């Protein structure tokens, strides 16, 4: 007699027949399917019969496979992993995941773009979401943030306006995944509080090289609360152990054309090869006295506390070591909510955070169709869940017992002799911090902004003046690019008037780039202060600008006649340094090397442009170079690598190709066998003025 069990992983059924185990296709009811190729018809050429339940179930399910995409953060990639605490933090929090050194907590982390739809590309100029779900022993904690520590607005009531403005224009239905259009800049130019975020959005932070090389932030001021009820203000920071890296704008545009899934693919391939992405979680912890000493309000989400003023304290690390088994079931169905916190973590009165606490939960019902979305495996807590919530659409649990209310005295058992099931737990349960955010928190309920939120330009000025010179040029050029896309001249003028308050030199550079006169500064609600620069805000020459190829991809262009010994030596050196060599050749089947052997290619030249790599080497013979000189893709390969300020290693015979591509000798253009691997860990920004006009 045949036995079977359902295999939930593949939707089939495993049958034991005469000692053999074979997978049998079944319906969703577990009924084996005999023919999955043909509909049931009345005769070979007759009509299809309505009784074909296999067809009806299959088409029915297919027709309903799509769920509403997220309004924002629709385009996302995610991975499983763990968080490991560096130390016992019980002095400042009773949160279980921070209770002992070395304690590991499972996590699921999703990265995303904000403005584009699910079908948009990975590399637009956009803020990136950085959301982490911690499956703790006290329940799920969702730290839902971005790769930028501030936001466009101070109050959640403006969030629909912000997103409506940056999404596709209502009459045209475009542009997709882009902020370079009238409605966005019209809105932010009328909202001076957005100025600081605009500095970040126009910087290289919004064109990250990969998901693995960007920071993450909790944005808001939260609280940590210990067992005695003492509260500590806290801001959360994620810092990539791989270092920070961004692209040039031209490079980001070309990557979008060469590989729209570039960052998603990079995350998958890094995990697949065992090069697990890792971030350090740090906190800025402070008390009310420190908060009161600052020249801005810590509840204002458009402000940061500079690291030079309050260093970030590392408290643990996150390692992502497993890609989802199924993109829809996990990455698409995961539901993050800032309101998901655990005992030992609490909120503040940040008005943007308070609005998010409502909005995210409301969104999940629309997207996932049921208040039971928390029972989906990716959202389910990994600790016991016990309550009397019942029924509802798509209830997947099967509660036992008569009582569905609390308190009750039914359902006695050896484990629960008094009956009644789960009860509230004052000693260990979550309790909201009873204190105030500030000593003077009192007064009538009003629709008003506090005066401490009125300074919109000082931190924007600090951010710009903290950047390295190349980053300042990139930011100014990004503003020129975006504002050049506008059809409304008065919006350009208003943006420039706001920029005068930020930095007159920046404003003048933008005005020159637009060939427009510089207007007077717009009125400011508070005096603009000159704050000390914060070098920690830099990507270039900043603390996370690591001169290494560890975890980076190095493209090696070869052709017929390439020296085998030189190729072996270079690939070996790249691997030893932690990099990944990627062989590119005119034909994917490979190239015939100097010893007669054939080296297969990882990518064909037309589909493997240099924008996909962090540095490149061109190892060709005179014969191979002569062939590549006639190939536009090869010339562009070298031209783009030089134009994007990357290191270029080369064989002596490659020089004619470099000359045709306009590659000039500098510290980043070196013989492949003489220091290339050491040079490949950085970009050569001094080269940039030679290859493009910058504002």
Catalytic positions are 73, 146
Place of tokens 């495993």: 14
Q: Which of 645, 636, 651, 690 is nearest to 668 (CA)?
A: 645
Environment class of residue 234 by beta-carbon count within 10 Å: exposed (0-12), middle (13-18) or buried (19+)? buried
Going by their DSSP bridges, the two strands 591-592 and 598-599 should be labelled as antiparallel
Distance CA 665, CA 658 (A): 9
The helix/strand count (H/E) of the chain reads as 18, 21
What is the β-pairing status of strands 128-136 and 139-146?
antiparallel
Adjacent-strand bridge partners of 146: 129, 217
CA distance 483 to 495: 9
Rounded distance between C-alpha atoms, residue 141 and residue 557, angstroms:
46
* Per-residue exposure over 29-59, b if at least 16 CB sit within 10 Å of its own CB, e if not: eeeeeeeeeeeeeeeeeeeeeeeeebbeeee
Phi, psi at residue 465, to the nearest 5°? Answer: -75, -15
Is beta strand 580-585 parallel, antiparallel or unpaired with respect to 553-558? Answer: parallel
Structure tokens at 337: 């909510």
Tokens of 129: 């979401």
Q: Where are the beta strands (DSSP E) in 306-429?
A: 313-322, 345-346
Distance in angstroms (rounded) separating the CA atoms of residues 306 and 312: 9
Taking the C-alpha atoms of residue 382 and residue 121, their distance in angstroms, rounded to an integer, is 33
If one counts every other C-beta atom within 10 angstroms of the C-beta of residue 674, the result is 9
**24 phi and psi angles, rounded to 5 deg:** -115, 135
End-to-end distance of the chain based on CA atoms, in angstroms? 78
Q: 3-state secondary structure string, 558-606?
A: ECCCCCHHHHHHHHHHHHHCCCEEEEEECCCCCEECCCCCEECCCEEHH
Can you tell me the distance from the alpha carbon of 581 to that of 651, in angstroms, rounded to the nearest whole number?
16
What gap in Å lies between CA 415 and CA 403, rounded to an integer?
16
> At CB < 8 A and 24+ separation, what contacts does 484-490 make?
484/180, 484/513, 484/514, 485/180, 485/181, 486/180, 486/181, 486/182, 486/185, 487/182, 488/182, 488/186, 489/516
Rounded-to-integer distance, Cα 523 and Cα 274, Å: 54
Beta bridge partner(s), residue 603? 584
Q: What is the phi-psi region of residue 474: left when phi exceeds 0, alpha when psi lies from -120 to 50, beta otherwise?
A: alpha
Cα separation, 194 vs 460, whole angstroms:
9
* 610 dihedral zone (left: phi>0; alpha: psi -120 to 50; beta): alpha
Cβ contacts of residue 83 below 8 Å, gap of 6+?
97, 104, 105, 107, 132, 134, 281, 316, 317, 318
d(C-alpha 150, C-alpha 304), whole Å: 7
């Amino acid at each position: 007699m045949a036995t079977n069990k359902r295999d939930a992983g593949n939707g089939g059924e495993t049958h034991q027949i005469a000692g053999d185990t074979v997978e049998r296709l079944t319906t969703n009811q577990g009924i084996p399917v005999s023919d999955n190729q043909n509909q049931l018809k009345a005769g070979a050429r007759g009509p299809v019969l309505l009784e074909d339940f296999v067809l009806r179930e299959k088409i029915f399910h297919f027709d309903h496979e799509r769920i509403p995409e997220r309004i924002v953060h629709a385009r996302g990639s995610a991975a499983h992993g763990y968080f490991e605490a560096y130390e016992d933090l019980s002095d400042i929090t009773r949160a279980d995941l921070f209770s002992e050194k070395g304690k590991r907590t499972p996590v699921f982390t999703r990265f995303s773009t904000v403005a584009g739809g699910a079908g948009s590309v990975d590399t637009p100029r956009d803020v990136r979401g950085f959301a982490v779900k911690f499956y703790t022993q006290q329940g799920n904690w969702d730290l839902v943030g971005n790769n930028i520590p501030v936001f466009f607005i101070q109050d959640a009531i403006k969030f629909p306006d912000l997103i409506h403005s940056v999404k596709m224009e209502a009459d045209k239905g475009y542009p997709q995944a882009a902020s370079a259009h009238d409605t966005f800049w019209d809105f932010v130019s009328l909202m001076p509080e957005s100025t600081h975020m605009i500095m970040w959005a126009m910087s290289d932070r919004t064109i990250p090289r990969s998901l693995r090389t960007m920071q993450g932030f909790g944005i808001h001021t939260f609280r940590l609360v210990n067992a005695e009820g003492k509260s500590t203000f806290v801001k959360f920071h994620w810092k990539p152990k791989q270092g920070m890296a961004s692209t040039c704008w031209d490079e980001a545009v070309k990557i979008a054309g060469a590989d729209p899934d570039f960052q998603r693919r990079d995350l998958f391939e890094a995990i697949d090869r065992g090069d697990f992405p890792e971030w350090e979680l740090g906190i800025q912890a402070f008390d009310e006295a420190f908060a009161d000493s600052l020249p801005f309000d810590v509840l204002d989400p458009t402000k940061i506390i500079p690291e030079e003023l309050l260093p970030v304290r590392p408290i643990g690390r996150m390692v992502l070591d497993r890609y989802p088994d199924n993109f829809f079931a996990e990455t698409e169905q995961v539901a993050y909510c800032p309101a998901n916190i655990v005992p030992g973590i609490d909120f503040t009165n940040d008005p943007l955070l308070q609005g998010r606490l409502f909005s995210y939960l409301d969104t999940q019902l629309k997207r996932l169709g049921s208040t039971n979305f928390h029972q989906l495996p990716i959202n389910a807590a990994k600790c016991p869940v016990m309550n009397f919530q019942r029924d509802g659409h798509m209830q997947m649990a099967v509660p036992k017992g008569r009582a569905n209310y609390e308190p009750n005295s039914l359902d006695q058992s050896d484990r629960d002799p008094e009956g009644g099931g789960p009860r509230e737990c004052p000693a260990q349960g979550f309790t909201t911090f009873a204190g105030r955010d500030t000593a003077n928190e009192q007064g009538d309920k009003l629709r008003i902004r506090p005066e401490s939120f009125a300074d919109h330009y000082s931190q924007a000025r600090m951010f710009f003046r903290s950047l390295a010179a190349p980053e300042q040029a990139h930011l100014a050029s990004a503003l020129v690019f975006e504002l050049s896309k506008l059809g409304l001249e008065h919006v350009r003028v208003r943006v420039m008037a706001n920029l005068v308050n930020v930095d007159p030199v920046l404003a003048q550079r933008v005005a020159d780039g637009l060939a427009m006169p510089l207007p007077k500064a717009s009125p400011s609600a508070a005096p603009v202060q000159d704050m000390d620069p914060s070098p920690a805000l830099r990507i270039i020459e900043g603390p996370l600008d690591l001169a290494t190829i560890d975890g980076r991809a190095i493209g090696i262009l070869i052709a017929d006649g390439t020296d085998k010994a030189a190729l072996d030596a270079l690939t070996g050196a790249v691997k030893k340094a932690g990099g990944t060599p990627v062989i590119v050749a005119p034909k994917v089947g490979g190239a015939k090397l100097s010893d007669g052997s054939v080296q297969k290619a990882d990518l064909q030249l037309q589909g493997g442009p240099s924008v996909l790599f962090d540095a490149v080497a061109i190892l060709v013979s005179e014969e191979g170079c002569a062939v590549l000189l006639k190939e536009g893709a090869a010339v562009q390969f070298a031209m783009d690598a030089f134009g994007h300020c990357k290191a270029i290693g080369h064989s002596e015979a490659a020089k004619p190709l470099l000359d045709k591509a306009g590659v000039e000798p500098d510290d980043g253009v070196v013989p492949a066998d003489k220091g290339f691997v050491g040079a490949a860990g950085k970009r050569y920004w001094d080269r940039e003025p030679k290859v493009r006009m910058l504002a």
